[in-house]
Structures are given as structure tokens and as C-alpha cells.
Chains A and B, each alone.
Chain A
Amino acid sequence: MSVKLTTRQVGDVTVIDAVGRITLGEGASTFRDKVRELVGSGNKKLLLNLGEVSYIDSSGIGEMVSGFTTVTNQGGVVKLLNLTKRVKDLLQITKLYTVFEVFEDEATAVRSFA
């Protein structure tokens, strides 16, 4: 199963709920397209909910990093929510845990954008 992305607004924060796998091919490109679409339409406060993401490979990590850079360059912010242990391990191995702001509670994450 590739990744399925749905978005919802919580105040001025756009929450992206991801379900499935973000891997080379369809999963990674779906994620890339969604981030570009959101930034292009003016959404600059993005909260990526990875609680239902079972698998991210290095290509998926690459797309997350590129998305972070794209949004940041447009004056926006990307934060992460609900990392599984496996995804958390990946971010620690790659030292990206120091780059992304990570939250375990959605309300706290949304408030942090204020």
C-alpha cells in the first residue's frame, strides 16, 4: 500500500494525516506533490501526522527533508506529529531528529505554531 494523504484545517494550521508507506515511487511522489500543492496554495503552517505510517525508506526521508526545505524557503514551517518508534529510530539514525520539531500531542503541536 502506498501512502494516502488527507488534509484538515485546525485554525491556521494544515494537518496532513498520512497513512501507509512513504517509499521510493508512488509513495514518495505523492508526498512531494501534496507538499508543493499546499505551499502553492498558501498553506505555510504544516503539521505532518505520521502516526499511521508503517514504513519510510531513505527516499521517503529525502522527500520529507525536501518538503521541509521547500516550505521553509517560502517562509513556512513544517512540524511532525505522532512518530512511531520505527520512524523515530530512522530520524535518530540520520540525525534528522535534531532538524524537525516533533510532537506527541496534536493540540500542543497546533499551539506551537502561534
Chain B
Amino acid sequence: MAEREAAEAGTVEKLLDSTLESVDTAEEDVLAEAQKLGFDEDDLHRIGMSVRECMVNAVVHGNRYNARKKVRLFVSHAPDRLEVVIGDEGEGFDMNNLPDPLADENLMRHSGRGLLLIQAFMDEFQIRNREPKGTEVKMVKYAAKAT
């Protein structure tokens, strides 16, 4: 695992292996930064779960556990906001073609709820294709909105 803790305060950047252990690592790293902003227990739970869901997507669906592919984790924070960016090296996907997990015909599907939970738990959510390939998700949680 290659990693770099940036010199400026509140910034962490890591290249993580495509393993489930990396999911735990990413959650721990992000929560360590989030705690500095004073988020309460419920918001820490929401942030941690969003990171887990995003990391699982990157490791399992994006990189497909490929040992040659890495997941990039970038965490930064300002006094009022926590930003997390997670990028994989997978084939990418079209978000507009994903089944709606809240549609009646999809309610009993086994999977497909991860992005729904991230969007429910975080204040901002953006997803884009990486170059030359892969998917990058950016999530923001505002400390001012912490309840």
C-alpha cells in the first residue's frame, strides 16, 4: 500500500489495495479526520457507512479485487466541511442505467442500495469517470449541518 500524508493539515491521500481490508482502513482514516471536526456519533456513523459503501463499490464492482488495481482515497477538511474522494481503476458505469432501488419491482433485489445510502447520508455526492478509466466519487459532509 503506497501512501502519503500531505504536509498541510487535514489532508490524507492513499493508494489502497483492492481488498476488503482496505474498506476498514479507509473507514478508519476518514473517521479519524471527521472526529477532528466535531461530528456527533450519528453523523460519524453516516460518514463511516458512506465510505464503506463507496469503498466496497470500488473494490468489488470497480476493481473486482484485481491485485494490480488500486483504490485512491483522498480526504481533506476545512473547518466546516469534510471531503472524501474515492477512485477506482475499473471499467466504469453509467449511473443513469442503474436500476432504481426504490422502485416496487426492485425493492426485493439483493443489491443496488449502496449509492442510495451514500446520497442519503452525505450532503454532497458527485460521481464521474476517471481518465483513462475508472470511476471517482466525491462526497462532502458539512460540520455546520451536524446534528
Contact = CB atoms under 8 A, between A and B. Distances in A.
Contacts of A66: 110
B49 interface: yes
A57 B49 contact: yes
B53 to A, nearest CB: 6
Contacts of A68: 108
Interface string A81-113: 000001000100111100100000000000000
Pick the most buried of A24, A66, A86, A99: most chain B CB atoms within 10 A of its CB: A24
Contacts of A23: 52
Contacts of A58: 53, 56, 111, 113-114, 117
A61 B113 contact: yes
A59 interface: yes
B111 A94 contact: no
B110 A95 contact: no
Contact of B102 (A55, A65, A95): A95
Q: Which 8 A-B pairs have the closest CB atoms?
A: A62-B110, A58-B113, A58-B114, A93-B120, A62-B111, A66-B110, A95-B102, A94-B113
Given A24-B56, A57-B56, A63-B110, 5 more contacts: A24-B23, A55-B49, A57-B52, A61-B113, A99-B108
